[in-house]
Structures are given as C-alpha cells and as structure tokens.
Amino acid sequence: MNNKLYGNLIFELSKKGRCGYSLPENNFEEFSSDQLPENLRRQEPASLPECDELTVVRHYTNHSANNFGVNNGFYPLGSCTMKYNPAINEEIAAMKEFAGLHPMQPAETCQGALEVYYNLQQMLAELTGLSEFTLNPCAGAHGELTGLMVIRSYHESRHDHARTKIIIPDSAHGTNPASAAVCGLEVVEVKSRPDGLVDVDNLREVVAANSGQIAGMMMTNPNTLGLFEHDIPAIQQIVHECGGLMYYDGANLNPMLGVCRPGDMGFDVMHINLHKTFSTPHGGGGPGSGPVGVRAGLEQFLPTPRIVPADDDSSLLVKTGCQDGSLGSVGCFFGNYAVILRAYAYLLSLGRENVKMVGPLATLNANYIKESLKDVYELPISGLCKHEFVFDGLKDKSTHVTTMDVAKRLLDYGYHAPTIYFPLLFHESLMIEPTENESKETLDGFISVMRTIADEARTNPELVKTAPHQTPIGRVDDVLAAKHPIVTYRQMVNS
Ligand SMILES: *Cc1c(COP(=O)(O)O)cnc(C)c1O
C-alpha cells in the first residue's frame, strides 16, 4: 500500500468544503433549546473530515489490506492458537435466524437455537469425558473463574470453609493465578522440574504444609511448554486424597482431541476455549467462549441459565436463578452465542471420525518444525512435544540477535510472528504453534525462512536487528507505545 498517497489518518486527507455524500433534506423541525438544554448543545460545528468518496473508500480499503490474519498467511502464535476458521462458520453465525434472536424471547419461540446450545454441551461432555457443560462464560479466563466458583461452592456445600488455597504450577498461564485471586482463593505455587513437568515431590510438600486448606489444583495439559504431564495419575491422587478437586485448564485441548479425555484422567472441573480449539477468529482480544464442564455430582453448582430437557423430553427449557446450589448468573444471558454457533458448525463439519485426527496432526506439525530447527534455535527442553513448543532464542548467542529481532524479521517474509517472551521460564522464549490444519509445504516454507533468518543473524546481524524493512511502518518503540499510547487524534488546525 502507498501510505504517502492515501495518508495515515482520514483527518489528514480532509479539504475544506470537499464532499463525498449529501444527506437528504432535513424534514424534521429544528431543535429548540427547551428540547435540548443549551449547555448540551454544540457551540460550533463538529470538525469532521471532509473528503471525496473515492478518497474515503481507498483510505479504508488500503488500511484494511494491512491486516494480517490466518487468511493471509501462516500464524504460528503459540498459546493463543489462531487456527483454521472456515468461512462457513461466519456465514452460519451471521444467519438472520440466529443473529436476530433476542436473549429474552420465550424458550418456545427459539427451540432450534436452544437445541444448538444443548447439543454442543453434550458434544463437549463426550469429547472430554465429563458429565455436564455450561456455555455461559465468555472467555477462557471467565471459564476459570466460573470453574473455581464451582469448586468453592462444592466445599461450601460441605461446610468445609477452611479450603481457601489453590495449587498452581509455576508454568501456568497468567490467567490461572489471576482468576484464583478474583475468586478469593490464595495461590500456592508448585515448582516445575528441569524437564518442564510438575514436580510431584514438591507437590507432596505443598499439600502437607497446607493440610485441610487445599480447595484444589489447577493444571494445564499439555502444559504451557507443550508437554504432556505424565504424572497426572499420581498428582490427582495426591490432591484428591487431601480433599481437593482437580481443575483442568483446557485451553490446550487441541492435541488431546480424540486421543484422551480429562474426565478419564480424574479431573473434576475444566474449561475449554472454543475460540482456540474449535475455531472463531479472535485476534485483538475477542470474541471468546470458555465453556465449563464438571464431573457427575457437581452439575448442580453450574451457573444459570441452564438449558435442560423438559421431563417428557418434548422441548428444551431455560432454567434460571440460584436454586439447588447453582452459582446463578456469571455473565450476560447465555454467553457468546455466535462463538457457540461457530464451534458447533466446526465440530459438525469435521464429524466424529475426523475430530480424532486433530490431536495427532497438531502434534505431528509441531514436532516437525521443532526437529527441523533445533540445530539453529536453542531447544531448552528436548523430546516429544504436543501442539506447541518453546525455543530459547537463537542457538548462536554470539550474534546478540534477540527473539524480538527474529520475530520482527519474520514480518518481512510475510509471516505472523510466534508468541515471544512467554512463557517466562526462559529469557528468549519463542513459542511456536502451527495447528493441525497447515500443509507440509506451508511448514517447509516457514522452516526455510527461520533458517534464513538464523543465517542472516550470523552474516548480517544489523539487517535482522533493524527489521522489519518491508512493512508499512518499521520498528516501533514498544515501551513508549505501552506507556504513552496516543489513542485520539489531536486536531491541529481546521484546514
Ligand atoms: C489462552 C489461555 C487462557 C485464557 O483464555 P482467554 O480466552 O484468553 O481468557 C488460559 N490458559 C491457557 C493455557 C491459555 O492458553
């Protein structure tokens, strides 16, 4: 795109008196000041940009072309999982029969929509080996909070009020301790071993030191390093024996799909990120959906509204309120219905058999990239990973080319950068997640570019350190942008 021609801000293109659109004549009476108090009325005309039609159209079209998404190219953003988002999901979510629904309309007038909701609850229960799901939470973190509230309600229902502590591994996603704090639980950290997995001996010590106070333990599996937590059988036994419940952070469910189920591993409560595992574009912070599932015996604590079949199975009912131990409402109405629809469409279009290929393919793709690059990028934890893995920067540290430089240089080659400087366990974390949908050719292209960048770091480090060179703007000052963001346009003169 040519920024010089079309300008960065529509205000900069404004020419006094230029007009791209004329409004029909105003047939309404002029406002009089008793209808709108004087102090609320504008004293001078708003200084809106004045442009001709083509300038406006070109300005916004060219800006929109600067977006990068999964439809433009490879997006290996570990932990955030931007994956295949089939266009048919968008079409279904936009259908007026769904988009036009009102959340307060009577259940008998929207049985089809409730059926989608109910069926997805059942599918998630089957995929995870749990008893029942709520689709109400609107994000993964919101699901964590809801799940922890279920755990708290369970202990309170048993008058076991001393259980105020939750065990969280040091490798956990930052939302885990944050959700625990919002739920009023105190976080007790359990360490990772050098192999990146939960240290079971340390867990035994933590449990012994807090006897009678443990509400439960949150675990992410595969964990934030993309590693399968092999000791779950022992871990869940230790936690259950001390009276706590096991919470499964299911944001990394991709590689587990069709291979194993949290319910079978002994977990009591979990959340799933529909916007990660079951499609829905969510760049820029939304929209999301974080359904929460529970094992048999905990269903009554789930939030409302709940969609339940009528006694005679002839229709679906909406149950509201806090009867029988329910938490009550955790958000607006039924949650993010459009995301729920997309997940449902995604699962139906894959089908029962193909869903079983998601996990193995996600795992194969991640391991293929890892093994193809580990001679030039530092792999701190070797061995088989699941859907994602972490490099600790370039192997050759003498170049002083950082993970940030590599990420910026990738933009020049038309790739979205991986997740960088997360997890915090390493200094130069570069976290790569290809997802299951990418072809071998795409992965090979990425591998070859990553190798080229490693070469450049040796032969021409300045080129990498000053990247990107091909993007509309070069390297921004991250610290300045974060500390002093300018989010409004300060008008100079009304030219
Ligand atoms: C993304 C993620 C979360 C939080 O999910 P949001 O939808 O972003 O709130 C929690 N845990 C893990 C492991 C994640 O990757």
Runs of H (alpha helix) within 171-266: 175-182, 200-209, 232-241
Which range among 55-69, 109-123, 338-352 shows the weakest confidence by mean pLDDT?
A: 55-69
- 80 Cα nearest atom in ligand 1: 1
Determine the Cα–Cα distance for residues 144 and 129; give it in Å rounded to an integer.
Answer: 18
Q: What is the pLDDT of residues 283-331, one digit of tens each?
A: 777 789 999 999 999 999 999 999 999 999 999 999 998 878 899 999 9
Could you tell me the maximum CA-CA distance found in the chain, to the nearest angstrom? 79
- Tell how far the Cα of 254 is from the centroid of ligand 1, in angstroms: 13
Question: When comparing pLDDT for 334 and 284, which is higher?
Answer: 334
Handedness of CA 279, 285, 287, 293 (dihedral sign): positive
> What's the angle, vertex CA 16, arms to CA 12 and CA 18, rounded to 5?
95
Q: What is the pLDDT of residues 192-221, one digit of tens each?
A: 999 999 999 999 999 999 999 999 999 999
Residues 81, 276 contacting (CB under 8 angstroms): yes
- Tell how far the Cα of 115 is from the centroid of ligand 1, in angstroms: 27
Shortest-distance Cα residue to atom 2 of ligand 1: 251
With a 6 A CB cut-off, is 175 part of the ligand 1 pocket? yes
Determine the Cα–Cα distance for residues 148 and 131; give it in Å rounded to an integer.
Answer: 17
**Residue indicated by tokens 């991709």:** 254
**Residue indicated by tokens 């704090």:** 181
Q: What pLDDT does 25 receive?
A: 86
Q: What pLDDT does 140 receive?
A: 96
Residues 282, 288 contacting (CB under 8 angstroms): yes
Q: Is 492 exposed, middle or buried (0-12, 13-18, 19+ CB in 10 A)?
A: exposed
Q: What pLDDT does 494 receive?
A: 47
- Tell how far the Cα of 470 is from the centroid of ligand 1, in angstroms: 32
Shortest-distance Cα residue to atom 5 of ligand 1: 140
With a 6 A CB cut-off, is 220 part of the ligand 1 pocket? yes
Determine the Cα–Cα distance for residues 422 and 430; give it in Å rounded to an integer.
Answer: 7
- Given a cut of 80, whether residue 242 has pLDDT beyond it is yes
- 275 Cα nearest atom in ligand 1: 7
Q: What is the pLDDT of residues 38-64, one digit of tens each?
A: 888 888 888 889 999 999 999 999 888
Determine the Cα–Cα distance for residues 279 and 433; give it in Å rounded to an integer.
Answer: 15
How far, in Å, are 420, 467, 474 from residue 402 at the CA level? 10, 12, 17
Across the chain, what does the average pLDDT equal? 92
Determine the Cα–Cα distance for residues 365 and 379; give it in Å rounded to an integer.
Answer: 16
Q: What is the pLDDT of residues 397-449, one digit of tens each?
A: 999 999 999 999 999 999 999 999 998 889 999 999 999 999 999 999 999 99
With a 6 A CB cut-off, is 387 part of the ligand 1 pocket? no
Determine the Cα–Cα distance for residues 81 and 70; give it in Å rounded to an integer.
Answer: 11
- Tell how far the Cα of 142 is from the centroid of ligand 1, in angstroms: 9
Residues 246, 219 contacting (CB under 8 angstroms): yes
Q: Is 474 exposed, middle or buried (0-12, 13-18, 19+ CB in 10 A)?
A: exposed
Determine the Cα–Cα distance for residues 410 and 403; give it in Å rounded to an integer.
Answer: 11
The dihedral over CA atoms of 317, 318, 324, 328, expressed in degrees to the nearest 10, equals 170
Helical (H) or strand (E) element with 306? strand 306-309
The model's pTM is 0.88
With a 6 A CB cut-off, is 140 part of the ligand 1 pocket? yes
Q: What is the pLDDT of residues 129-177, one digit of tens each?
A: 999 999 999 999 999 999 999 999 999 999 999 999 999 999 999 999 9
How far, in Å, are 152, 425, 486 from residue 63 at the CA level? 48, 37, 18
- Tell how far the Cα of 222 is from the centroid of ligand 1, in angstroms: 13
Q: What pLDDT does 425 receive?
A: 87
Of 171, 168, 172, 152, whose CA–CA distance to 160 is shortest?
152
With a 6 A CB cut-off, is 251 part of the ligand 1 pocket? yes
- Given a cut of 60, whether residue 5 has pLDDT beyond it is no
Q: Where are the beta strands (DSSP E) in 335-428?
A: 389-392, 419-420
Residues 338, 282 contacting (CB under 8 angstroms): no
For residue 270, report the phi and psi dihedrals to the nearest 5 degrees: -155, 165
How far, in Å, are 154, 204, 205, 254 from residue 386 at the CA level? 33, 26, 29, 9
Partners of residue 420 on adjacent β-strands: 430
Determine the Cα–Cα distance for residues 297 and 269; give it in Å rounded to an integer.
Answer: 11
**Residue indicated by tokens 């059988």:** 233
Determine the Cα–Cα distance for residues 306 and 318; give it in Å rounded to an integer.
Answer: 6
- Tell how far the Cα of 355 is from the centroid of ligand 1, in angstroms: 22
- Tell how far the Cα of 151 is from the centroid of ligand 1, in angstroms: 19
Residues 244, 256 contacting (CB under 8 angstroms): no
- Tell how far the Cα of 175 is from the centroid of ligand 1, in angstroms: 7
With a 6 A CB cut-off, is 168 part of the ligand 1 pocket? no
Which residue type is seen at 384?
L
